[in-house]
Amino acid sequence: MSDQEQAEIRLEFARVKQEHTDFDAAINAMIAVGCDALQIQRMKKKKLALKDRLKQLEERIIPDIIA
């Protein structure tokens, strides 16, 4: 993997991580205000998808090396 590809993956990782953090803050605010449970559930599902994407990007950055 080239340095350029590595840098792009790291940049996307940082962006997705920030989005994940933003969703977490939004969900906590929605819970505190008492928003619709269905909407909170949808937000949690999107947050989980972001977590999955973070894991995929992390695996591309740090490949699993079999010794």
Higher-scoring residue by pLDDT: 62, 48: 48
Residues with Cβ within 8 Å of 47's Cβ and at least 6 positions away in sequence, in order, are 20, 23, 24, 27
State yes or no: pLDDT of 63 exceeds 80: no
Residues with Cβ within 8 Å of 54's Cβ and at least 6 positions away in sequence, in order, are 13, 16, 17, 20
State yes or no: pLDDT of 3 exceeds 60: yes
State yes or no: pLDDT of 38 exceeds 70: yes
pTM: 0.82
* Structure confidence by residue, pLDDT tens digits, 40-59: 999 999 999 999 999 999 98
